[in-house]
Structure 1
C-alpha cells in the first residue's frame, strides 16, 4: 500500500502534547523562543518517543541530526527511560558532541581509549542515573572488559540507541569500522520497545537499504519517508520496521568547482598564489600523510598559518589544532580523511582537495564540513594524475583475502583453544599488524573468532569466506571511482551530480557551481609561486630510521645465530646508523617518478641523470657525524642495473671507493609486504659477505655507505648492515632510492 500525505502530517497523526514538549525542549537547547523544527526532525522524534520504533535519518550536513537525538533523549528521560547510548566513530566527533550536549543541558559523558582515568567516575554517574547520553566507540562494544562487565547492565537500562555516521554499518564502510557491523547483534539483545536512531549525511539508496536491514535484522523495511515535495508513507502490516526519513541533499551555501592543473607543481603553486583569497578558515584535504605534511610545510614556509592534521597526529595535538581552526587562529588545516566526519565548525569558509577522494560519497562527506551556518562557502577540487594509483593502493590494502583469513583461523585453532595476542599471532601468519587487526575484527563480526582477555580465540563456529560479498564490494568501489572521475569532467551541474550519485531524486541545477554560473576561482599560477612549489617538490632526503629491536617470535621463522634465538634489542655494535632515502613513494614530488620506477611492469634500467643528481644532493645535505669512506651495494634480484648505477655514481662523485657488493645466496626476487617476523625470516640467510668484500672492509676506518633500491620493512638493510659490521665495517649508513611510506 502506498499513501501520499502532506509534509505537515506525521506518521501516526501528530501527538500535540509530544510536539509541544519537543518544541519547548528545542527552544531551550538553542536559546531561541521562536525556534521550530526543520522538516523531518519532529517526525523522527515522534517515531522514537511515541512509537518506540527505529528510524534512519539521512539528511545533509548541518540539517540538525543532533537536535533529534538530544530532544528525543530528554523527552524519553522525562518519561522514566534510561540513558541513551550514542555510538560515535571518531574522537573529534565525540568531543564536539559532548560540547554540544553541555550547551544544550544534556548530561553527556564518554568512554573511549583516551579517558581511561575517568571510567570509574563515569560508572558512578551511570549508577546514580546522572547520565543522559553515554558516548562509546564501536570498538568499545567488543572490548572484553566492557562487553562482559558493563554492557549487560547498560542494555538492561538503555533508553535509546543512537548510531551516528550509520553508513559505516554498510558494506561501503566495512574497512573503516568493521565493528559497526556488530551493532545488529547489540540491537537484538536490547529489550523490546527500545527506540533506535541511525543518522548519516552520506548514503545512496543501496547503503540506505543495507543500513535499514542491519537495524531491523530479518524484519523487512516497512516505512519510508521522503521529505521532498511531500511525505511518502509506505508499508503494511504490524511489523516494527524502520522509518527512513530522507531529505534533499542539496547544499545551497556551497559553490563547487574543479580546477584541473597539469601537475603537483601547478596545484601547490595555485595554493601559494591564492590561499589568502579563499574566504575565512578552511580545510585542505590531501590523500596521503606525506602529501599533507609536505603541503603544510611549504605553505608555512611561505608565511601562511597552516598545520598538518593526519592519522599520525597525536590526540593532544589534534585537539589543539581543531580548536585553532574553530577559533580562526589558522588559515587552514592540511588534513587527510582523519579530519572528517562530525567535525563541526559552522562557519568553515572553504574546503579544497589536493587530489580527489575515491567516491562521490566520500567527497560529499568531506565538503559537507563547509558552509553549515554561512550563506556562502567555496569548494574546489584539484585532481591529480596520481589519484587512481593511490585509490588502488588503499583499496587493495584493506580487502581481506581468503588465504589470509584461513591462515589466521588455522593459527588460532592450532593453539589448542588458548588465546593468542595480536603480536603472537603476527609471528604465525604473514600479515602486517594493521591489516591483521582489521582482519581479526572482520572475523570477529562474522563470529569466527572472539576477542577475550589475553588475545584472540577461534570460536569453532562454521565460517566460509564470503567471496561474493567482497567481489561485490570491489565492483562497487570501481563504479564509485568512475563516478568521481565523471564528476571531475562533467559539464552539468556539480551539486546535481553529487546528489544523483547519492540517489537524491530531488536534484536540480544549483546555479552556483562553475558549470552553472561560470568559473568563479582564479586559474592563474604566479610564476614565483610555481618556482617555489617546484623547489619544494624537488626537495630530497627522508630520514630512514634504524631498527632497534628484533620482532618477537622470529625464532619461528628460523632466525637464530649459531642456534641461539635472536630476540630483544639489536646490539648497538650490530645496528645500522640513521640513513636516508631520496623520497617516499607517497610524496608529491619525487614520489611520482619513483612510483613509475618501481611499478610492477617497469623494466630494470640505470637511474636517469636527474635521479642520480638528486641522489648526490641527498648526500650533500645529509649532515652525518662522520663522512663515509666507501660504498657497498646490495645485490638486487629485481633492479640490479638501477642499484649499481646509483652506487657507481655516488662512488664517482663522492670520490669514495666502490668496495663491492654483498653476495646474494638466494636470487629469487624478495617480495615486499608481509609482517616483520616473516620479512626478517625471508632475508635472514639470504646474503653473505664474500672474501673480496671482507678484505676491503678490513682496511677502512670509517662508515660504509650501503646502497639499495627500496626500503619497506627495513629488515633487508638491518640484516645486511649486521653482516657488514660483523665483517669489520666500523659503521653503516644506509641509502635507498625510495621508502614505501
Structure 2
C-alpha cells in the first residue's frame, strides 16, 4: 500500500528497502544509506525533482545517481546520462556501476572506434548509463544526431563535478556552460542531479543559476533541492612547512617521503615541476611516477593502477589527477607549491584519508608560487578587442581553428576556449569543417570578467593567509567553503603543535641542490609548418624539408623549472637588463655543451642578434666560441620592423619569416654549426634561422639557448 503525503504525492513505502538493496551491491552488504543520500534519491525517483548535492569526497555522491538509476530503470525510465569531466572518473564510475549490475558505457576521445556500437546499444535499450564528456555535447555529429534522442528519452541527467559550470570554472571546462541549454530542452518530469565536493555559497548560487535549476528549496518544497554536508574529515592532519629554497623543499620531501603513511600524491603546480620532482625521487630510490596533462592516456591508466595497488609510493602530479580518482586508503597528500585558492587546495587534499584513521597533508609553499598564479591568471578570458576580431573573422563558411589562427593572434588553447564560450553564448557555432558566425548580437560582459578576476585575487590572498594563520587550519579551509559548523580539529599543526620539523637532512638537501642545478634540457626541432601560412604571405606548407630542418637543440633550463627557472628569469625575463651572462651561467653552458652527446662536434658558432639584449647575446656567442675554440662565423641580424608578442604559431612564424640579414656564406663549412640565442619560445625563430643557415651551406644546425619558455 502506498503512503500519501499531505501534498497528495504518493510515496512507495518499499522504495527505501529497494534502494538499500542496490546500495549493498555497490558498497557491500553492511552499507546503509545516509539520510541525505536517501533524501536526494527520493527527490529524484519519486518527486522527479532537480537537486544539487555538495558533499565531501568519499561521502557517496555516485551512490545517489547509481541507486536512482537502478530504481528509475526498474520503473521503465530511459537511461541516465552522466556528464563527467575526466577519463579517470569515467573509468571508476563504470567499474562501480558494474558492481550494481548497471550497464554503463562511455563516449569520449579515447574510444572513438566504439561510438557507433555505443549509440546503437543506447537506442536498443541495452544501456543503463551513458557517460559523456562535456566537450562531446558540442561535437557536431553528437549534438545534432545523438543528443536530441538522449534528451527526449533520458531517465535522469547527472552533472558531475558541477562546480566546473560556475563562472569561476568555465575557464577550466567552458563546455559545461552549454548544459543550461540541454537542461532547458529536457521534457517535463526528467530529474536532474548536480554533484560536487567543492562549492562555497557563491558557487552554489552560480551553479543553480548557470544550469537553470531554479530557486533553492528544502526537502519538501518545490524548486531545487540543495543538500550540503560537513566538510570535516577526522583523519586529516594538516601542516605547513615553510622552507626558503626549492632545494630545501625537495630535499625535505626526499628525506620524509618514507615516513609518510602508505601511498599518496605529491602535487606540483606545473608539468615541468612534476616531471623534475619525479625524476629526482626515482634517483633517490623511490618508486614514483609523474602524472600530468601531458601524460599519455595509457600511461595515466597504468599510473593510477600502480597507486591503487600500492606499487608506487606516490604519483607526482599536477591538478590533472584530482576529480574522480578514488583510493580510499590514500595515506598522504603533499603539495610542493600552494594552489591558487583554498577551494582548489581542499579539493586536492580531499583525496586522502577516506578509509584510514590518519592521513598526512603537508604544504611546502614556494616564493615562486605567486609568479605561477599570475601566469595562469594571464590566460583568462581575452580582452574585448581580440574577441571582436575573432567574431569579425567568422562568417557563414566554416573556418578551422588553424585558419582562424592566421587571422587572430591568440594561442591555440585560448582561442579554442574563446570559441567554445562564443558557441555557448550563441555568437558562434561549431559545424563540420570548423566554426561559423551566427550573426547573433553578442555583449562583452566586462563586469563579469572583472568579478572573476576579483574573486581570483581574493582567493589567492586567502591562500596566502592560510600559510600564516595561527587558527585551526581545517576551520580556515572549511570557512572558505562556507561550512558554518566548523570547529577546531585538534589535529593540525596549529591545534596540536608542530608535527613536521622544518629541518632538512643535509645529504638530501645537497642531492636536491645538485639535481636542480643540473643544466640541460633537450629541445626537439619543428618539423611541420603551421597551416594556412599563405594567408599571411608566407609561402610554406606541410613538412619542413629535411635539408632545411634544425637538429635537436639544448637549453640550460626552462623558465618554469624549480631549479634554474628563477636564475634564468633574472637573466632573460621581461625586465632583465642587457648585461653579460655571469660565470655561473657560463659554467652551466659548458656543462650542457659537454654533455650534449652530438653525433658530430660543431665546427663554428653563429649568433642571433637581439633588439632587447644585443650586448648579452653578443657576449654569449663570443664566449662560447672562445671556450670551445670554435670560430665565430657571424651573427644573424634581425631586420625589418619585426613586431613582438605574438601568441600563436602562425603569427610568430610570419613575424620572423624575413627577419634575418647578413646571413654568412657557409658553403665551405664541413660540419654542424652551433646557433646561439637567449630564449627559445615557440621555436620559430630558431627554425627560420636554421633554415637560412642550411640554405647558406651549413650541413647541420644545432640550436642552443639559455632558456626554454614553454
- Scaled to the shorter chain, the TM-score interval is over 0.9
Equivalent residue in structure 2 for 1:725, among 671, 694, 697: 694
Q: Return the offset for 1:429.
A: 1.5
> SS of the counterpart of 1:548?
coil
> SS of the counterpart of 2:208?
helix
State how far apart, in whole Å, the 2-side matches of 1:496 and 1:570 are.
58
Equivalent residue in structure 2 for 1:397, among 346, 369, 379: 379
Q: Return the offset for 1:729.
A: 2.5
Q: Does 1:26 align with 2:23?
A: yes
> Any conservation in 2 of the 1:711–1:739 contact (CA below 8 Å)?
yes
> Any conservation in 2 of the 1:87–1:138 contact (CA below 8 Å)?
yes
Q: Does 1:258 align with 2:240?
A: yes
Q: Which residue of 2 aligns with 1:443?
A: 422
Equivalent residue in structure 1 for 2:432, among 429, 445, 453: 453
Q: What is the correspondence of 1:257-276 to structure 2 with a 5 Å cutoff?
A: 257-276=239-258
Q: What is the correspondence of 1:209-228 to structure 2 with a 5 Å cutoff?
A: 209-216=205-212, 219=214, 221-224=215-218
> Any conservation in 2 of the 1:86–1:134 contact (CA below 8 Å)?
yes
State how far apart, in whole Å, the 2-side matches of 1:12 and 1:594 are.
69
Q: Which residue of 2 aligns with 1:57?
A: 53
> Any conservation in 1 of the 2:22–2:100 contact (CA below 8 Å)?
no
> Any conservation in 2 of the 1:54–1:215 contact (CA below 8 Å)?
no
Q: Which residue of 1 aligns with 2:400?
A: 421
Q: Which residue of 2 aligns with 1:228?
A: none
> Any conservation in 2 of the 1:689–1:723 contact (CA below 8 Å)?
no
Q: Which residue of 1 aligns with 2:345?
A: 363
Q: Which residue of 1 aligns with 2:669?
A: 700
Q: Which residue of 1 aligns with 2:73?
A: 77
State how far apart, in whole Å, the 2-side matches of 1:347 and 1:596 are.
43
Q: Return the offset for 1:426.
A: 1.7
Q: Return the offset for 1:592.
A: 1.4
> SS of the counterpart of 1:48?
helix
CA shift digits 1:560-603 (9 cap, x unpaired): xxxxx222222222221111111111111101111233332232
> SS of the counterpart of 2:509?
helix
Q: Does 1:175 align with 2:171?
A: yes
Q: Does 1:523 align with 2:496?
A: no
Equivalent residue in structure 1 for 2:644, among 671, 678, 700: 671
Q: Which residue of 2 aligns with 1:714?
A: 683
> Any conservation in 2 of the 1:216–1:241 contact (CA below 8 Å)?
no
Q: What is the correspondence of 1:49-448 to structure 2 with a 5 Å cutoff?
A: 49-216=45-212, 219=214, 221-224=215-218, 240-413=222-395, 417-448=396-427
State how far apart, in whole Å, the 1-side matches of 2:8 and 2:102 are.
27
Q: Return the offset for 1:259.
A: 0.6
Q: Which residue of 1 aligns with 2:33?
A: 37
> SS of the counterpart of 1:16?
coil
Q: Return the offset for 1:735.
A: 0.6
> Any conservation in 1 of the 2:291–2:316 contact (CA below 8 Å)?
yes
> Any conservation in 2 of the 1:673–1:713 contact (CA below 8 Å)?
no
Q: Return the offset for 1:10.
A: 13
Taking only aligned residues, the RMSD between alpha carbons, in angstroms, comes to: 1.8
Moved more, 157-166 or 713-722: 713-722
Q: Which residue of 1 aligns with 2:3?
A: none
State how far apart, in whole Å, the 2-side matches of 1:213 and 1:139 are.
21
Residues 245, 297 of structure 1: CA spacing in aligned structure 2 closer, same or farther, 3 A cutoff?
Answer: same
Residues 14, 284 of structure 1: CA spacing in aligned structure 2 closer, same or farther, 3 A cutoff?
Answer: farther
> Any conservation in 1 of the 2:572–2:678 contact (CA below 8 Å)?
no
> SS of the counterpart of 1:216?
coil
> SS of the counterpart of 1:40?
helix
State how far apart, in whole Å, the 1-side matches of 2:167 and 2:682 are.
31
Q: Does 1:492 align with 2:471?
A: yes
CA shift digits 1:132-175 (9 cap, x unpaired): 11101111111111111111111111101000000001011111
State how far apart, in whole Å, the 2-side matches of 1:347 and 1:394 are.
32
Q: Which residue of 1 aligns with 2:584?
A: 610
Q: Return the offset for 1:11.
A: 14
State how far apart, in whole Å, the 2-side matches of 1:14 and 1:284 are.
48
Q: Does 1:595 align with 2:591?
A: no
State how far apart, in whole Å, the 2-side matches of 1:491 and 1:391 are.
24
State how far apart, in whole Å, the 1-side matches of 2:216 and 2:706 are.
59
CA shift digits 1:41-86 (9 cap, x unpaired): 1111111111111000001111110111111111111111111101
> Any conservation in 1 of the 2:11–2:46 contact (CA below 8 Å)?
no
> Any conservation in 2 of the 1:634–1:661 contact (CA below 8 Å)?
yes
> SS of the counterpart of 1:109?
strand
> Any conservation in 1 of the 2:610–2:637 contact (CA below 8 Å)?
no
Q: Which residue of 1 aligns with 2:548?
A: 574
Residues 215, 546 of structure 1: CA spacing in aligned structure 2 closer, same or farther, 3 A cutoff?
Answer: closer
> SS of the counterpart of 2:102?
coil
State how far apart, in whole Å, the 2-side matches of 1:571 and 1:384 are.
44
Q: Return the offset for 1:733.
A: 1.1
State how far apart, in whole Å, the 1-side matches of 2:210 and 2:626 are.
65
Equivalent residue in structure 2 for 1:472, among 451, 455, 461: 451
State how far apart, in whole Å, the 1-side matches of 2:537 and 2:62 are.
56
State how far apart, in whole Å, the 2-side matches of 1:11 and 1:730 are.
87
> SS of the counterpart of 1:334?
strand
Q: Which residue of 2 aligns with 1:3?
A: none
Equivalent residue in structure 1 for 2:620, among 630, 646, 651: 646
> Any conservation in 1 of the 2:177–2:211 contact (CA below 8 Å)?
no
State how far apart, in whole Å, the 2-side matches of 1:35 and 1:339 are.
28
CA shift digits 1:619-677 (9 cap, x unpaired): 11111111112211111011212212211221111111222211221365x52442111
State how far apart, in whole Å, the 2-side matches of 1:660 and 1:156 are.
70
> Any conservation in 1 of the 2:26–2:96 contact (CA below 8 Å)?
no
State how far apart, in whole Å, the 2-side matches of 1:550 and 1:262 are.
44
> Any conservation in 2 of the 1:269–1:530 contact (CA below 8 Å)?
yes
> Any conservation in 2 of the 1:631–1:707 contact (CA below 8 Å)?
yes
> SS of the counterpart of 1:520?
coil
The structure 1 segments of at least 4 consecutive aligned residues displaced by more than 6 Å after TM superposition are 9-14
Residues 42, 623 of structure 1: CA spacing in aligned structure 2 closer, same or farther, 3 A cutoff?
Answer: same
> Any conservation in 2 of the 1:306–1:334 contact (CA below 8 Å)?
yes
Residues 105, 302 of structure 1: CA spacing in aligned structure 2 closer, same or farther, 3 A cutoff?
Answer: same
Q: Return the offset for 1:605.
A: 1.4
Q: Return the offset for 1:608.
A: 1.5
CA shift digits 1:85-104 (9 cap, x unpaired): 01100000000110111112
Q: Return the offset for 1:522.
A: 3.5
State how far apart, in whole Å, the 1-side matches of 2:147 and 2:531 are.
34
State how far apart, in whole Å, the 2-side matches of 1:467 and 1:27 are.
50
Consecutive unaligned residues in structure 1, runs of 5 or more:
1-8, 226-232, 560-564
Q: Return the offset for 1:39.
A: 3.4
Q: Which residue of 2 aligns with 1:688?
A: 661
